[in-house]
């Protein structure tokens, strides 16, 4: 409560970090209008994570088409997690027609920016092709990715490339990080 009060007060309310913090705090509390307001202030300053937060509010409201432009802007502004979420929207046809080719393109963009879950998603899609050789190659790619993930998390578990990767050491390791 003290952190919320501090961040809502001048001059701290003008800081992107406080705006983003308040956005996520209100998002987790289910106060989506307040979350949108605070994310919007940071998003107006082209903060990628805040733009992702706006997209997340739209996803929570099942407004998937409205989320896509915010996820795209988040990715363009240095938050590649947005590519992953756009890809998932197209992969599962959430509010849009299923389009695996679009999903793959967005996964590839996320992977090109080092986002671990995008790389994992590409490996998974490759492994679904049915060919034994492709499945074996996918297994090798997954092992390489596991080693890469271990190295990154060893150095910094909060590395942004690790967002959405379950933490095996955490109590609630199945819940995605925000």
Question: Is the overall model pTM greater than 0.85, yes or no?
Answer: no
| pLDDT at residue 83, as a whole number | 96
Q: With bands split at pLDDT 50, 70 and 90, how would you rate the model's confidence at 53? A: very high
Residue 140: other Cβ atoms inside 10 A: 10
Asked if the model's pLDDT at residue 71 lies above 60, the reply is yes
End-to-end CA distance of the chain: 19
Q: Given the structure tokens 């490996």, which residue do they identify?
A: 123
pLDDT beyond 70 at 28: yes
Task: Determine the angle formed by the axes of helices 48-60 and 81-92, rounding to 10 degrees.
Answer: 30
Look at residues 23, 68, 28 and name the one whose alpha carbon lies nearest to residue 43. Answer: 23
Task: Determine the average pLDDT of the residues in 49-64.
Answer: 96
pLDDT digits (tens, 9 = 90+) for 88-138: 999 999 999 999 999 999 999 999 998 999 999 999 998 887 788 888 988
In the chain, what percentage of residues exceed pLDDT 90? 64
Tell me the average pLDDT across 79-96. 95
């Amino acid at each position: 409560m003290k952190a919320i009060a501090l961040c809502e007060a001048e001059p701290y309310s003008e800081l992107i970090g406080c705006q983003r913090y308040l956005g996520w705090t209100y998002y987790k509390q289910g106060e989506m209008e307040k979350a949108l307001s605070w994310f919007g202030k940071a998003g107006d300053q082209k903060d990628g994570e805040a733009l992702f937060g706006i997209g997340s509010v739209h996803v929570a409201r099942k407004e998937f088409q409205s989320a896509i432009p915010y996820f795209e802007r988040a990715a363009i502004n240095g938050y590649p997690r947005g590519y992953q979420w756009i890809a998932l929207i197209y992969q599962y046809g959430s509010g849009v027609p299923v389009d695996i080719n679009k999903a793959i393109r967005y996964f590839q963009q996320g992977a090109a920016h080092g986002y671990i879950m995008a790389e994992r998603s590409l490996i998974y899609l490759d492994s679904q092709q049915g060919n034994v050789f492709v499945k074996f190659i996918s297994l090798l790619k997954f092992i390489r990715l596991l080693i890469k993930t271990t190295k990154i998390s060893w150095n910094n578990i909060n590395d942004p490339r690790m967002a959405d990767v379950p933490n095996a050491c955490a109590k609630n390791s199945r819940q995605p990080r925000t």
